[in-house]
A and B are shown apart, each in its own frame.
Chain A
Amino acid sequence: MTTSDLALLKERFETLTQRESSDHVALNCASSQLIELCTALRDDFGYDMLVDVTAIDWDAQSPRFTGIYHFLSTTKHEYLRVAADCTDDINPALPSLTSLYASANWHERETYDLMGIRYQGHPDLTRILMWDAYPYHPLRKDFPLAGIEVPLPADDVAEVTGMSVRPAPMVGGPFVSSADGPMSQTEPRARDESWNEKKIKPCGK
């Protein structure tokens, strides 16, 4: 995005600020102006492809959730990142971009499924990866990687097998780095999420 384009955008949208980024141009936008901004990006600035929709959980901070959008201009071959904070920390919501970009449909369903952000105006905001009755949003910071015990999606299968969705044993599991020190210096090793008489159950209290 050229500096003149950026200045034009900032003039049109007063809530727009530049966001710190190590790669592409990134912008912060208020969620109230998101639809308006994306319409302008698509129609006037050539960002005709929505590549990705995701979100960040900032844990204890407020605003807790930030929606992230990656746009690509197929004519200028440039990416643009737009971030919009959710004003509500308990029931985070953002306007849906499905009316502007068809690709937003499934991306927003995934973000809703895993992060619990409700996209207002989405035609079918249902879970896409976990099953419909699943009660949690697993990529939130307060959700343990091992999982929380819930019933299996099918009652009859749960009855026959006596199974439920159980927290996975984490000891010895791969791809989990120690929380201490920078990740590049710590050996990937799982945190102990097992429990016994002395150590309390870390999840599903």
Chain B
Amino acid sequence: MQNTTIAYDSKVEGEVIVTQADAVINWIRKHSVWPMPMGLACCAIELMASGGARFDISRFGMEVMRFSPRQADCMIVAGTVTYKMAEVVRRIYDQMAEPKWVVAMGACASTGGMYRSYATLQGVDQIIPVDVYISGCPPRPEALLDAMIKLQDKIGTERSVTNLFPEKADSTEAAGATK
């Protein structure tokens, strides 16, 4: 693992590692993302394919899909969000423990997609903060994996305390303000 913020020389330091809390916490977090599959339409099929042997999302340490929001920290919104379903999506998001992230998978979750209609929410970012958007209708599993790796990169750059104590977070921090 390449991480320049952790330096360890066993000859000099013995059993002591000197680093930053952010670096360690983020390193732990980004390598054990537990996704919550919010499968609402055909994107969920591609999401399932990503979990299967051919694409194998476990190569990146995020294979532990949990169907309970209390056991997950990354909601993958895969599919069309209707206004009737928006309430449910928001409630499930609220039930996830901090820190938590959201991936909007596919055109529908990102913008409403081809559903320009009275029934469809025009992008899930109108009700929950989204970290990564994926284009495609539906996106291929590679696109999802790419987005999850981008999410890992993003987690690596976050200030972990922001997520630990959201109410005490610096108000100038954009991530803290939206979460």
Contacts and interface: CB of A to CB of B under 8 A. Distances in A.
Interface of A: 129-131, 138, 143-148, 152-154, 157, 160-161, 163, 165-170, 173-176, 190
B84 interface: yes
Interface string B79-102: 000011011001100000000000
B112 interface: yes
A144 B115 CA distance: 14
Contacts of A157: 86-87, 90-91, 127
Contact of B87 (A143, A152, A173, A175): A152
Contacts of A161: 90, 126-128
Pick the 6 closest A-B CB pairs, nearest first: A147-B118, A173-B116, A154-B87, A168-B116, A161-B127, A157-B90
A175 B114 CA distance: 8
A3 to B, nearest CB: 44
A157 B94 CA distance: 10
Contacts of A143: 118
Contacts of B126: 161, 163
Given A163-B126, A165-B118, 17 more contacts: A129-B84, A131-B83, A138-B118, A143-B118, A145-B117, A145-B118, A147-B119, A153-B83, A154-B90, A157-B86, A163-B86, A163-B127, A168-B117, A168-B118, A168-B120, A169-B122, A173-B114
B68 to A, nearest CB: 20
B25 to A, nearest CB: 27
B62 to A, nearest CB: 27
Contacts of A165: 83, 118
Contacts of B91: 154, 157
A190 B116 CA distance: 10
A143 B120 CA distance: 15
A160 B87 CA distance: 11
A169 B116 contact: yes
Given A161-B126, A161-B127, A163-B127, A170 B116 contact: yes
15 contacts: A129-B119, A131-B83, A138-B119, A145-B116, A145-B117, A146-B116, A152-B86, A157-B86, A157-B91, A165-B83, A165-B118, A166-B122, A175-B114, A176-B116, A190-B116
A130 B84 contact: yes
Interface string B127-145: 1100000000000000000
